[in-house]
Amino acid sequence: MSAYYILTQTVIDLEKYTQAYIAKVVPLLAKHKAEVLVADFDAKPLQGDPAKSVVVIRFPSEQAIRDFLHDPDYQPILKVRISLTKNGNAVMAPEFTMPD
């Protein structure tokens, strides 16, 4: 069953983030069979005071998300993401199926 990785954060330096993070993370997402469904650096808040950026990524499973997050090749890229953002929050959730 598919699972979703939802990340909200505020990007501090968009140019550096695009060059140093996005360019390097895209091949890793492909390696883990992930599909970016939503990516917006200036999401419109509807409630509260959320971070400016939102990303929703579909993975084949929750284990695939864990494998991506713990991939040794991702660790230095993750440090770049964290250094170029603030107010980051990430969650994972399984695909919704309507109860019978």
**How confident is the model at residue 100, as a pLDDT?**
82
**How confident is the model at residue 9, as a pLDDT?**
97
Q: Give me 20's structure tokens.
A: 């140093």
Under-70 pLDDT residues of the chain: none
Output the pTM of the full model.
0.93
**How confident is the model at residue 1, as a pLDDT?**
92
Strand 85-94 and strand 3-11: the pairing is antiparallel
Place of tokens 């409630």: 47
Phi, psi of 84 (to 5 degrees): -105, 10
pLDDT, tens digit (0-9, with 9 covering 90-100), for 44-64: 999 999 999 999 999 999 999
**How confident is the model at residue 85, as a pLDDT?**
97
